[in-house]
Amino acid sequence: MLSPVPTTVRSADGFDRVVDLLAAGDPDAAAELFLTEQVGVPAPMVTGMRGNKTWPWIRTAAQALATAIPTARRLEIPGADHEILNHPELLEEHLVNFFA
């Protein structure tokens, strides 16, 4: 049975290895390495994540909401990730336009 609690110890060079994989143009391997070695997600769970159809559904649902709500709009901001609030320069223009 897979444990929901991480049971691995983070490797000291894990961050550097993730950065190296990203620099080499392999974001899939970087994500897998990060999830398994740094977060402690069991490899079988990462495999399951890869086959998950959630992300396309989320985009479709977001577009449906943006279409249905008269004043709504959906944005995908290039360069943004889960930490968008740590990159206000990516968000600034969109917020200024929204509140104008």
In single-letter form, the type of residue at position 53 comes to K
**14 versus 7: which is more confidently predicted?**
14
Give pTM, 2 decimals: 0.49
- How does pLDDT run across 39-93, given as a tens digit for each residue? 888 889 988 887 788 877 888 898 999 999 998 888 888 877 777 887 888 889 9
Tally the residues of the chain.
100
Alpha-carbon gap, residue 37 to 33, rounded angstroms: 6
DSSP H stretches of helix in 24-100: 27-33, 43-50, 54-68, 88-99
Could you tell me if residue 25 is left (phi over 0), alpha (psi between -120 and 50 degrees) or otherwise beta? left
